[in-house]
Amino acid sequence: MKELNRGTWNIRLVLLVIFAMSLLCELPSVQARRASKSKKRANEKSPKLLVIMLDGWRWDYYDRQKDELPAFSKFLQEGVQAKWVEPVFPSISYPSWTTISTGVYPEVHGILSNYMFDQHLQAVFDYKNNTSVSMEHWWQNAEPIWITATRHGRKALLNRWSRCDVPFDGIKPETCVSYDDVVDGTGSTVDAFRIAVESLQQDYDLVMIYIETIDLIGHEYGPDSPELMEAVRHIDSALSFLLGDMQKVNIDDKVNTIIIGDHGMKALGESAKIVYLNDYINVCDIYKIVGKGPIMTIEPYAQTKVKVYQALQYQEGFDVYLREEIPEDFHYKNGKLVLELLIVAHPNYYLSGFDSDKQIPENLVNASDKIEGGIHGYPDNITEMRTIFYAKGPGFKNGLIHPPIKMVDLYQIFTYLLDIPSRPNNGSWARVSEMFSSARETVSNFWMVTFSICLINLV
């Protein structure tokens, strides 16, 4: 009897393996058929997608003055509000923007900070230098959403969105006004929203708008300042215009609108403690220093690495990591451009660099300088670094307070609403699937469920 049971089990196991192999063989054809259907739907009328990024909008800006923000209140009553969005590390603009656009962590897409140094090419990435950040080689590690959309017949317009002007795999979106082409100010928000409405009335399927106002005010005056609260009310007024205009032209029920931030903001100002690293280490022991503020990376000479590390290891106000010891949950250490030492400031501390041509950027903080009123870039476990996800439209439930999501989840939300296949990403469908009015199964989820059912039946 035992032999019979063992034989039966072996037969079932063989059948299971054969079935699994057949699924693997079938999956590419399923994906191909879905891609084919996606192209056919490109000419059909389906809900369009508007994405508005409010740079520096912290997760609690709405909640702390909601009575003064009627447009946001109406928006959320009719849509979805995630409790917060967990940022990436570092919670700095360029890494965050690129994760939003690609769905992968900085160590995957390669944009590790606003400043980087490529030792192989001897190239500097400086976010304030348009020539340096526009070089194509920085941007070829992960495909952004506007390229994914374009590949599948969706027409995309981006207004001031980071590096939409740089080709990926030789492809550009239909229309791109790059980040550097417009000088922002509070008065430009309504203009940006007007462009969005006009574009959505035309044949654009994806419109992405970037607004910088809140970040600028947050840096200068701080996140708790009257000036910041006034700027938030200004955005609310502009949002009221947008929603009213969409209703006037009868597209409000034909567009899924998503409002996101890229990071939060922490108060700093006069209470900040500046860390001068040249108090602890000698610049002669260092080949290159990159960054300032909340994070800095250092490339010592090979023979001085241990010396520099030990000199910094037990100092106040920051943590220092050897490259191989960087915490895995930073999702940072495997980036191609990671230098030998990573220094992460503690909250309320600010890292100043060296008065040396080895320092990127060259502008340093001196004792007499005024520190910004607000700052970001700290690890994602710092509450003030959290940001927002608000959404409404035919694809979303009404009046839903959704559990927290992660920044890497946004890309798959975009592709789902555009009804196009996602590129490989670090997001989790389980974290976001309950926000939609009627969630479709993804191809991978469908086959996983089918496989599980057959496994139960066989066993």
CB-based contacts of 453-459 (< 8 A; 24+ apart in sequence)? 454/16, 454/19, 455/16, 458/12, 458/15, 458/16, 458/19, 459/12, 459/16
Residues 338 and 225 in one domain: no
Of the given ranges (18-27, 107-116, 173-182), which has the lowest mean pLDDT? 18-27
Q: Examine the domain organization and report whether 300 and 176 are in the same domain.
A: no
| Phi, psi angle pair for 355, to nearest 5° | -85, 80
Residue 3 lies in a domain: no
> 322 and 252 in one domain?
no
Answer whether residue 28 is part of any domain: no
Mean pLDDT of the region 203-227? 97
Of 371, 401, 417, the last residue of a domain is: 371
Give pLDDT tens digits for 66-89: 999 999 999 999 999 999 999 999
Instruction: Return the CATH number at 343.
Output: 3.30.1360.180
Active site residue 437: no
Residues 88 and 158 in one domain: yes
122 domain residue, yes or no:
no
Q: Are 378 and 385 in contact (CB under 8 A)?
A: yes
Residue 161 structure tokens: 């969105």
Q: How many CA atoms lie within 13 A of 393 on its CB side?
A: 23
Distance in angstroms (rounded) separating the CA atoms of residues 84 and 79: 15
374-395 pLDDT, tens digit per residue, is 999 999 999 999 999 999 999 9
Number of domains making up the chain: 2
CATH (domain of 409):
3.40.720.10
Q: Which residue do the tokens 């000479």 mark?
A: 301
Q: Is residue 120 in a domain?
A: no
What's the domain range around 72?
48-104+142-266+381-435
Task: Report the C-alpha gap between 261 and 195 in whole angstroms.
Answer: 20
Q: Which is the catalytic residue, given 29, 38, 73, 93?
A: 93
Same domain? For 278 and 296 the reply is: yes
Q: Enter the pTM of the model.
A: 0.86
Q: Are residues 238 and 366 in the same domain?
A: no
Q: Based on the domain organization, do 288 and 237 belong to the same domain?
A: no
Has residue 455 been placed in a domain? no
Residue 136 covered by a domain: no
What pLDDT is attached to residue 251?
97
The number of CA neighbours under 13 Å toward the Cβ of 272 is 27
State the burial class of residue 426 (Cβ atoms within 10 Å of its Cβ: 0-12, 13-18, 19+).
buried
- Report how far residue 132's alpha carbon sits from residue 109's, in angstroms, rounded to the nearest whole number: 17
Same domain, 95 and 215: yes
Q: How confident is the model at residue 181 (pLDDT cuts 50, 70, 90)?
A: low
Query: Where a domain ends, among 323, 341, 371?
Result: 371
pLDDT band with cut points at 50, 70 and 90 for residue 453: very low
Residue at 29 is within a domain:
no
Give CA torsion, residues 31, 32, 37, 40, to 10 deg: 140
247 in the same domain as 295:
no
Q: What is the pLDDT of residue 422?
A: 97
Same domain for 67 and 168? Answer: yes
In this structure, are 87 and 215 located in the same domain? yes
Q: Are residues 279 and 400 in the same domain?
A: no
Q: What is the pLDDT averaged over residues 312-328?
A: 98
**408 domain residue, yes or no:** yes
Per-residue pLDDT at 2: 41
